[in-house]
Amino acid sequence: MINIAKSEKLFSEAKNFIPGGVNSPVRAFNSVGGNPLFIKKGYGTKILDADDNEYVEYIGSWGPHLFGHNPEFIKEALVRSIDNGTSFGAPTEIEIEMAKLIIDLVPSVELVRMVNSGTEATMSAVRAARGFTGREKFIKFEGCYHGHADYFLIKAGSGALTLGVPTSPGVTKGNAADTLCAEYNNIESVKELVFANKNEIGAIIIEPIAGNMGVIKSKIKFLQELRELCTEEKIVLIFDEVMTGFRVAKGGAQEVLGVKPDLSTFGKIIGGGLPVGAFGGKREIMEQISPVGPVYQAGTLSGNPLAMSAGFAALNHIKEHPDVYDILEQKSAYLEKGMKDNLESLGLNYWMTRIGSMSCMFFTDVEVSDFKSAVTSDTKKYGQYFHEMLNQGIYLAPAQFEAMFVSTAHSKDDLDKTIAAHKIALGNIS
């Protein structure tokens, strides 16, 4: 067992000043048991906890660290930026450069507005769609997580799913009434809602590759039919690419799946590890946003020069190194094969999914393609597996329904160590 005495002490202290001792619920280890580790340093593929235990890790700050922790080119961009100041509340040139780069990399985006988080991006995109269409209702999908805005916490994924809180107290009946839930990968469930609420639905928002009920890809036919339905019914189709944007491909999930949304939301990688979000898409919709249009959206720190500089460095690195996704695919496929070989050698039929550098192992032998199949996974067994991996120096998401992220920094030694640990962990709990 690893010694985590200092982390235990810090957590005990934190609970006196912070609700639950953490500033985001999934960090609390509630779904895997035990208490969270406090991290003091990250470098490449490693993190160091408060007790100086080192781990090969696959969270990457929940997705942003495509190039590992603290890459030199992002640090250099931040140092250059901070010399000029941290925030101005006024336009800066780097905001223009960042917007141009996003538009260049994602063909469906014609205009883009920077915000401060993924939650801000998704709630602003839905507001823009409602303002553009003049309709109040929207459709989301069971198990998809779009941040913690009131109207998204209806049958949500991520921490809300893991913690068994699909609809949070504090969400009003009015919000719930305007939020309609469909079944992921089931177009008939969408059509039923659309035709039962004819001319009342302003938007449909979806994670085209879900990363918050585990990793699940939309079926291409389903997504194509969803696109056709939105076009026919004049509904704004929103792709939540906060997690998948610049992670699964240069152009995100919409490039991989070949379906073009009306609006897209981004976060994580576009901040280079700093807090950030963005939403963008068709000019005619985005020009409804203030100050040019009547739909109000604002943010004191939106377009913060530090986040823009780090994000621009990350996206420009992608643009200048087109082999990034080939490298990620090779590393991720190698890890997947090793883990699947372990399952086979142990006679286990656990379901694994992978799309690019995102993957997930479900403790179920059911094919996972939606919310209902995802929740057949044995979360107690995942908790045991998590701690077995932790004891061998591998840090995974402390929740079954989160993604495992591979970075370009992961070496063959890292991957081999992980595969070996995976086999031992499964053997110890099976």
- Active-site residues: which are they? 145, 240, 268
Q: What angle do CA 132, 135, 136 make, to 5 degrees?
A: 115
Reference 98, options 333, 277, 327, 362; nearest CA is: 277
Q: How far is CA 28 from CA 7, 15, 163, 231, in A?
A: 12, 11, 11, 42
Reference 259, options 211, 204, 310, 312; nearest CA is: 204
Q: Which two tokens stand for residue 67?
A: 């190039």
**Helix runs in 234-278, H state only:** 253-257
The Cβ-side half-sphere exposure at 144, using a 13 Å CA radius, reads 32
Cis preceding linkage at 64, omega within 30: no
β-bridge mates for residue 125, sequence order: none
The whole-angstrom separation of Cα 119 and Cα 152 is: 9
Q: Which two tokens stand for residue 333?
A: 């496929």
CA 17 to chain centroid, in Å, comes to 28
Q: Which two tokens stand for residue 254?
A: 């919409």
Indicate the length of the chain as a whole number. Answer: 430
Q: Are 120 and 299 in contact (CB under 8 A)?
A: yes
Q: Which two tokens stand for residue 384?
A: 């045991």
Reference 127, options 241, 222, 205; nearest CA is: 205
Q: What angle do CA 107, 108, 111 make, to 5 degrees?
A: 100
Q: Are 417 and 343 in contact (CB under 8 A)?
A: no
